[in-house]
Amino acid sequence: MADFIGHGMLSCYSREIEFSKPTKLGALIADLNLPEELRENLIAVRDKKLLDDAELISGSDTVHLFIAPHGG
């Protein structure tokens, strides 16, 4: 089971996701049901490293989710 920990306004999306084999981050993010406007500005971090959607996540991982602020 991988832990997804949302920070700030993403805290309500925190949960554990169970899966049997390494899975791409993008597919797991879709399971969190984040609104599209939040996905556009999502930052995912595992072990102090920035992740992209193609990164494989294993069942023992902890992924922290942040929103990247933008605008003026």
Q: Which residues are paired to 5 by β-bridges?
A: 64
From first to last of its 72 residues, what are the pLDDT tens digits of the chain?
999 999 999 999 999 999 999 999 999 999 899 988 888 899 999 999 999 999 999 999 999 999 998 765
- CATH number of the domain where residue 39 is located: 3.10.20.30
pTM: 0.91
For strand 56-57 and strand 49-51, is the pairing parallel, antiparallel, or unpaired? Answer: unpaired
- The tally of domains found in the chain comes to 1
- Domain-embedded: residue 72: no
Separation of alpha carbons 58 and 35, rounded Å: 24
How far is 10 from 23, CA to CA, in rounded Å? 21
Residue 12 has phi, psi (to 5 degrees) of: -70, -10
- The range of the structural domain enclosing residue 19 comes to 2-67
